[in-house]
Amino acid sequence: MNVRLVDIAHARSGDKGDTANVGLIAVEAVWYPVLERYVTRERVASHFRGIITGPVERYELPNLNALNFLLHGALDGGGTLSLKTDAQGKVFSTAMLRMVIEVPDDEAKALKLPGSKKWPTYQRSPKE
Amino acid sequence: MSSSNQAGKIVRVAAGQGFWGDWLEAPRRQADGGQIDYLMLDYLAEVTMSILQKQKERDPKMGYARDFIGAVESIWPAIAERGVRVVANAGGVNPPACADAVRQSAERAGVSKSVRIGVVTGDDLLPRLDELIASGHPLANMETGEPLSTVRDRVLSANAYIGSTPIVEALSKKANIVITGRSTDTALTMAPLRFEFGWGAEDWDRLAAGIIAGHIIECGAQCSGGNCLYDWQNIPDLANVGYPIVEGAADGTFVIAKHPNTGGRISIRSVTEQLVYEMGDPHSYITPDVIADFTTIHLEDAGGGTDRVRVFGIKGRPPTDKLKVSIAYRAGFKAVGTLVYSWPDALAKAQLADRVLRERLDNLGLRFAKVLTEFVGASATHGPLAGEPGDPPEVQLRFGVRGEDKATVERFTREIAPLVLNGPPSVTGFAGGRPKVEEIVAYWPALVDKSVVQTRVEVLG
């Protein structure tokens, strides 16, 4: 089943130099393992491909039902150097929540995950 | 201090400012809205120090957060009559001048007899930079590894982040207003707790708890319903939002609360959003006092949905022998111009304007370190993740350049307005006129040995 993160998680993001951090928090504690299993470092790196120039790091905080991602090279130099509208990475949080993950039907059903057909898996056009 | 006389004691530290520019009403509402013991005001962001340094160069009596004077003026009765103590990093690059201004305000209010001002200095490394570099402290950039000598002649300010110890000293000398320069944001909250409960300098778990309490409230309402994504539609009465208060206990546990009859919301989810804000490696939140481990934090609802969250279980460990240094340096110039294109085909019109503008800059032979185009309303913040925008009512072209040469950036600013008459159609929104050229003051994070930074505490009055 396709699950969009915005339906099972909330998030806040901020900056440290040219790095944006995204804290991704499961709305229900029982959904945290889904984030831990499917929102991998590799998956996030591919989600932000072409948007960030550096690597992605992931840290787990099961005590807070949260993952913390560091997106390096996200802010055009960061702080005052950056020409971006989002120079401080404030809305990388909601960009993360656009991600669609595939969860096996049994697991999704057992956890009562809100799946939704209205969210198609995002497909990048070949030119990106 | 024995544990017996601390049992049951609760110390309330209220947050009144999350940055310089935060809500002017907040300090008074915190002081008057219910019982508090300390008011914590955080004014300093990464580049604030350089702005203050420029102000001090123009006038040696400036260089601190002027808003702080208005804040104390709005709460003199709380300070002078009810014993609320204030801890603020409002001193910027000139804590003594800030203290003078507070002293004058106290005199005007007729309360100077009951005011003792503690001033913490020693964080300012600007006068010592050459000496430090010469004696083997490269102050290398933590992100790039480059030594500071590469930009030495462009440095505007350099301040070490200092910890809780000098603030505790000022409080123990009976200061009821403590003014610091570049204290860490979190020390402003931890120091009063450490002082009140007599926590030792190696009481790692409790010090870490105080730091995390500080992290939760250092951005003001950002933990109490402000900027809260979860269930944002139903967060009550943001117009009247309550700023957070730490209710600390001797064992290092604490409750995050707010005054009664205020808006906003404090919940496990609102507090968690703030905990992950600007987080790096959660195992190692490094401060001058202690390294706090965010993976040990436990949260529970402390009152059945009554805007109280209890925080416990926090572990800490010894800090490093370095202090972080915040250095600001001149890094060229930038300008950003905007124009709004309307339906139909707003995005296509903005895209054409972008191509025309780039060609003209090229034809003029203007070279920039960076040119960035964004289409606000289509893809500015989420890039390709936003998908196809359809045919929106309007799209803003946002075109930015930066470079070392001011004249080149100036010349760029003359190329925006002509597009209104000689570019694609259906364009508006240029009322702001020519884009402003801004000098870029960039941030250079570095480390320095703790042993070279000596803080001083003076209590006046």
Task: Report if residue B135 sits inside a domain.
Answer: no
DSSP string over chain A? -EEEGGGTEEEEEEEETTEEEEEEEESSGGGHHHHHHHS-HHHHHHHTBTTBSS-EEEEEEGGGTEEEEEETT-STT-TTT--STTTT-TTHHHHHHT-EEE--HHHHHHTT----TTSPPP---TT-
Structure tokens at B182: 């570049």
pLDDT at A118: 56
Q: Is the pLDDT of residue A128 over 80?
A: no
Question: Model confidence over B314-336: pLDDT tens digits?
Answer: 999 999 999 999 999 999 999 99
Q: What is the pLDDT of residue B2?
A: 45
Full domain range(s) for residue B340: 328-443
Q: Domain holding B361: CATH number? A: 3.30.70
Element (H, E) at B338: strand B322-342
Min distance A32 CA to chain B CA atoms (Å): 13
Same domain, residue pair B345 and B303: no
pTM of this prediction? 0.95
Q: Does residue B338 share a domain with residue B287?
A: no
* Residue A126: per-residue pLDDT: 47
Residue B10 maps to a domain: yes
| Every domain of chain A and the residues it spans | 2-110
Q: How far is CA B380 from CA A45, B218, B389, B395, in A?
A: 19, 29, 11, 10
Provide the pLDDT confidence category of residue A12 given band limits of 50, 70 and 90: very high
Give the residue from B297, B224, B279 showing the smallest Cα distance to B30: B224
B189 & B219 share domain: yes
CB-based contact B30:B16 (threshold 8 Å): yes
> How many percent of chain A have pLDDT more than 90?
88
Chain B CB within 8 Å of residue A41 CB: no
Confidence of residue A116 (pLDDT cuts 50, 70, 90): low
Prediction ipTM score:
0.95
Name every chain A residue with its beta carbon within 8 A of the beta carbon of B409.
none
In the prediction, which pLDDT does B204 show? 98
Q: Are residues B283 and B407 in the same domain?
A: no
Half-sphere CA count of B292, side-chain side, radius 13 A: 26
Q: What is the average pLDDT across A27-38? A: 98
CA angle B408, B413, B416 (to 5 degrees): 135
B432 in helix, strand or coil? coil
Same domain, B96 and B222: yes
Residue B398: its chain A contacts at CB < 8 A? 85
* Residue B75 shares a structural domain with residue B23: yes
The verdict on a CB contact (< 8 Å) between A61 and B331 is no
Contact between A64 and B275 using a beta-carbon 8 Å cutoff? yes
- Do B336 and B200 lie in one domain? The reply is no
Smallest CA–CA distance, residue A8 to chain B, in Å, is 11
The residues of chain B scoring below 70 in pLDDT are 1-4
- Tell me whether residues A81 and B269 touch, CB distance under 8 A: no
Residue B83: phi and psi, rounded to 5, are 80, 20
Q: Which residues on B lie below 8 Å from A10 (Cβ)? A: 229-230, 269, 273
Predicted pLDDT of residue B373: 98
What's the rounded Cα separation, in Å, for the pair B440 and A76?
Answer: 14
Q: Please indicate, yes or no, whether residues B14 and B106 belong to a single structural domain of this protein.
A: yes
Indicate whether B284 and B385 sit together in one domain. no
Does residue A70 surpass a pLDDT of 80?
A: yes
